[in-house]
Amino acid sequence: MRSVRKAVFPAAGLGTRFLPATKALPKEMLALVDKPIIQYGVEEAVASGVPGVIFVTSRGKSVMEDHFDVAAELETLLEGRGKTDLLREARAVSALASVCSVRQGEPLGLGHAVLVARPAVGNEPFAVILPDDVIDAAPPALAQMIKVFERVQGPVILVERMPKHAISQYGVIAPEPLGGGVYRINDLVEKPPADQAPSDLAIIGRYILTPDVFDALEATERGRGGEIQLTDGLKRLLRERPLYACEINGVRHDAGNKLGFLKATVHFALRRPDLAGPFREYLDSL
């Protein structure tokens, strides 16, 4: 099976949980310290050996592509003022990955977002990275998954153990342990009540999928709100082939909600040598 060379980033949502900040600015461009949320995911993909990035966007989201494009005016300004460190950082972002985008014309769910990326993906395995899930891990979370993918030669979903009170907010797998934090998936249940969840292993925002998922998604009926759910498409695919899960080894933050965003900001600020000391002093003083 071919290696994973492309990563799809579903990023067409309106980010209403962060209004008014997201009235004109995509949620994915909100900064954790000094990098937009989406850059953390792109850096993870590149560090995992996946150079091709496909953004699934909607109207008003072109600033994400602009962020990864060459900013000639800015570079000229920085060069003229002798700000070589900042110039190096600006150029590093534009050289990070090969980026393209496709439009999701209507907000019809995560499964639909993956489906509209089909022409850009082609007939090869690919990753899906949900930008809201910002993961600090070594090796990167996607690299951990690719290692499992190469072993099992089938789709791999990233999972994390969740406390009982939170499990109903996630898709949950019924697992068959294979060892080393790897599971064969016997079933997937979308947002089950806590007392009906098949395990405490919740699906989080990373997938490695094979191109046959597109046919499964096309055959998937629309569910709640008229949306095509990726979990429903994977349940259909499970009838045809084995699916696997990889348990995360790292720290994940859900930056798609305000509390998670704040926690992620603190986490990454404390990871910065230039900020950690004075920032920790400030936190201790509160």
pLDDT above 70 for 266: yes
pTM: 0.93
Where do the structural domains in the chain lie, given as residue ranges? Answer: 6-285
For residue 273, pLDDT over 80 is answered with yes
Per-chain mean pLDDT for the chain = 92
219-245: pLDDT as tens digits: 998 877 788 999 999 999 999 999 999
Q: In CATH, which of 3.90.550.10, 3.65.10.10, 3.30.1050.10, 3.90.1150.10 is domain 6-285?
A: 3.90.550.10
Identify residue 85 by its one-letter amino acid code: D
Contacts of 27 (CB under 8 A, 6+ apart): 13, 15, 17, 18, 37, 132, 256
Confidence category of residue 139, pLDDT binned at 50, 70, 90: very high
β-pairing, 52-57 vs 98-103, is parallel
Task: Using the predicted structure, report yes or no on whether residue 106 has a pLDDT greater than 90.
Answer: no
pLDDT beyond 70 at 7: yes
Give whichever of 1-10, 94-103, 179-188 has the largest mean pLDDT.
Answer: 179-188
Mean pLDDT of the region 15-19 = 88
Closest Cα to residue 197, out of 222, 157, 176, 169?
A: 169
Q: In the structure, what pLDDT confidence band is assigned to residue 202 with cuts at 50, 70 and 90? A: very high
Specify the pLDDT at position 1.
Answer: 64
How is residue 140 annotated by DSSP? -
Overall average pLDDT of the 19-39 stretch: 93
Hey, how many other C-beta atoms are within 10 angstroms of the C-beta on 48? 21
Query: Which of the four pLDDT bands, split at 50, 70 and 90, describes residue 84?
Result: confident
Q: What percent of the chain has pLDDT over 90?
A: 74
pLDDT value at residue 154: 95
